[in-house]
């Protein structure tokens, strides 16, 4: 939510929202800030004697107010700071701007007690801990509300972290992995084979290769293999919110987004109630995906949805990892419709999975130049997990490109088609059916395929 939302009055001391004046008064709920405070202690606070965690309710966090870029703060090991926490609360275009200053601390003094602490180098640092009022706000929330905001805060760490510059920003780093060193693909097509043969080789490779999910740099769950078991191992943004719960949580948002898109697809317009619903739905989807956006206006939401349902690769509508997610969600209803193109989320994780595997297969086949192969399938900058990955070929940059968004969605639709239709000699399905979140199995959808690729690209 941004303070340019109509009728939103800025009153830092009494409002349930926090405003970031260096991010054009972008606003978040104070509950999200308190959840992020707890997440920051869990993820980034120094361990105490015996390997335990500091008590987030009472321990101090360095403030580290700074005008340095976010990547510089990370390189200087300033993850555990109020400044970095606040940078991750605002949209990507403001993340290189200082967010904590005397005015911010004064405006929200009701939440903090300011003091100092001595770091491991003996340096005294200005610090903050939560006030009694802040803890009262947190404790007054239901457990369900606390869980929701904790998930939103976790998503800020796990999601694509975008900034204006090209400097890498790594909050959640698993370590570099070279695709092809863990398992070799079952087969490599001939050098001159058509693109679809390489897509099929990629699908077989993912089916064959073991997969281990990670969380907080630790293995989460058992190692699995197969498209079906990989999807069942999906979680976001933490293991407790697994495949079924994630679907159940998002289904209402999917329903609203698809009803809105269907109306546009019919050439009809939204009334005021639906216009309000469109903006609210976009806000909530960005919250869930951990990709806060500025300019969430009715015009921008409508133009993205219209471009998505029409597969308009020349659209001037907004596009980045967050808007790509909205495009995918609102076109989910197009799955199975002949001649229609449900969008896929093309973020750094999905792109890393697809491109790293295709890159290895093509290079192993002896391809040295992409030429016209996989036209417009472009990379998306992302750091974290095992990203960025090393490529042998010169893949184009697909960041903020609707052409890449549409072409990548076509490729992922091809994957779903192959998973659903390829058969063995005896007529049985070659690949396992897609597990359904509510139980049973069914046809693979773009949503299911991108869930597997999302995890594979971590």
Q: Pick the more confident residue, 69 or 12.
A: 69
Query: Residue 166 — very low, low, confident or very high, per pLDDT cuts 50/70/90?
Result: low
**Does 197 or 175 have the greater pLDDT score?**
197
The pLDDT assigned to 178 comes to 41
Tell me which residue of 117, 113, 100, 101 sits closest to 54, measured CA to CA: 117
Which pLDDT band holds residue 117 (cuts at 50, 70, 90)?
A: confident
- Local structure of 446: helix, strand or coil: helix
User: CA–CA separation, 1 vs 33, rounded Å?
Assistant: 13
Residue 438, burial from CB neighbour count under 10 angstroms (0-12, 13-18, 19+): exposed
The DSSP-derived string for 235-299 is BSSSTTSBHHHHHHHHHHHHHHHHHHHHHHHTT----HHHHHHHHHHHHHHHHHHT---S---HH
Q: Is the pLDDT of residue 14 over 90?
A: no
**366's tokens:** 């002896």
Angle (deg, nearest 10), helices 321-330 and 298-310: 60
Q: pLDDT digit string (tens) for 217-268?
A: 778 889 999 999 999 999 999 899 999 999 999 999 999 999 999 999 999 9
Of 216, 217, 237, 95, residue with least CA distance to 153? 237
Task: Specify the range with the lowest mean pLDDT, choosing from 25-29, 30-34, 215-219.
Answer: 215-219
Q: Which residue has the higher pLDDT, 430 or 72?
A: 430
**pLDDT category of residue 19 using cuts at 50, 70 and 90:** very high
447 pLDDT band, cuts 50/70/90, is: very high
Is 13's pLDDT higher than 70?
A: no
CA distances from 161 to 282, 330, 387 (A): 18, 23, 12
- Distance from C-alpha of 191 to C-alpha of 321, rounded to nearest angstrom: 33
pLDDT tier for residue 385 given thresholds of 50, 70 and 90: low
The pLDDT score that the predictor gives to residue 10 is: 53
Contact between residue 415 and residue 200 where contact means Cβ atoms under 8 Å apart: no
pLDDT band at 23 (very low <50, low <70, confident <90, very high): very high
- Which residues face 61 on adjacent strands? 128
Spatial distance between the Cα atoms of 284 and 152, rounded to a whole number of angstroms = 10
Residue 386 has pLDDT above 60, yes or no: no
Per the listing, tokens 């987030």 go with: 56
- Going by pLDDT thresholds of 50, 70 and 90, the confidence category of residue 214 is confident
Give yes or no for residue 1 having a pLDDT over 90: no
pLDDT of 218? 79
At residue 155, does pLDDT exceed 70?
yes
CA-to-CA distance for 246 and 154, rounded, in angstroms? 14
The per-residue pLDDT for 6 is 38
User: What is residue 207's predicted lDDT score, i.e. its pLDDT?
Assistant: 97
Q: Which residue has the higher pLDDT, 394 or 120?
A: 394
Displacement of CA 104 from its chain's centroid (Å):
28
Is pLDDT above 60 for 408? yes
Give me the chain's average pLDDT, please.
90
């Amino acid at each position: 939510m941004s303070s340019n939302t109509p009728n939103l009055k800025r009153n830092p001391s009494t409002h349930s929202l926090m405003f970031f004046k260096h991010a054009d008064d972008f606003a978040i709920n104070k509950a999200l800030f308190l959840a992020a405070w707890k997440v920051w202690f869990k993820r980034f606070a120094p361990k105490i004697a015996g390997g335990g965690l500091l008590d987030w309710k009472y321990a101090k966090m360095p403030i580290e107010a700074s005008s340095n870029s976010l990547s510089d703060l990370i390189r200087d090991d300033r993850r555990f700071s109020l400044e970095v926490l606040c940078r991750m609360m605002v949209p990507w275009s403001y993340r290189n701007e200082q967010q904590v200053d005397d005015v911010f601390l004064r405006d929200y003094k009701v939440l903090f007690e300011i003091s100092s602490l001595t770091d491991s180098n003996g340096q005294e640092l200005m610090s903050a801990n939560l006030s009694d009022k802040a803890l009262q706000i947190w404790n007054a929330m239901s457990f369900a509300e606390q869980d929701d905001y904790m998930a939103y805060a976790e998503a800020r760490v796990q999601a694509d972290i975008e900034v204006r510059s090209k400097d890498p920003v790594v909050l959640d780093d698993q370590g570099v992995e070279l695709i092809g060193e863990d398992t070799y693909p079952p087969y490599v097509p001939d050098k001159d084979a058509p693109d679809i043969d390489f897509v099929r080789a990629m699908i077989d490779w993912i089916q064959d290769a073991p997969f281990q999910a990670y969380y907080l740099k630790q293995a989460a769950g058992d190692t699995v293999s197969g498209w079906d078991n990989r999807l069942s191992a999906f979680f976001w943004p933490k293991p407790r919110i697994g495949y079924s719960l994630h679907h159940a949580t998002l289904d209402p948002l999917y329903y609203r987004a698809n009803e809105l898109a269907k109306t546009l697809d019919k050439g009809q317009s939204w009334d005021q109630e639906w216009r309000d619903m469109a903006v609210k739905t976009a806000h909530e989807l960005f919250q869930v995906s951990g990709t806060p956006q500025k300019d969430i206006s009715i015009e921008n939401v409508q133009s993205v949805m219209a471009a998505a349902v029409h597969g308009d690769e020349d659209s001037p509508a907004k596009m980045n990892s967050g808007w790509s997610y909205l495009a995918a969600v609102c076109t989910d209803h197009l799955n199975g419709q002949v001649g229609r193109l449900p969008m896929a989320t093309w973020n750094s994780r999905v792109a890393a999975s697809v491109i790293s595997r295709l890159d290895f297969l093509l290079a192993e086949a002896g391809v040295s130049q992409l030429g016209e192969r996989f036209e417009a399938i472009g990379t998306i900058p992302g750091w974290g997990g095992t990203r960025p990955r090393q490529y042998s070929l010169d893949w184009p940059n697909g960041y903020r490109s609707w052409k890449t968004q549409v072409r990548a969605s076509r490729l992922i639709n091809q994957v779903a088609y192959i998973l659903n239709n390829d058969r063995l000699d005896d007529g049985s399905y070659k690949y396992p059916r897609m597990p359904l979140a509510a139980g049973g199995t069914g046809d693979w959808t773009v949503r299911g395929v991108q869930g597997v690729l999302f995890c594979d690209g971590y």
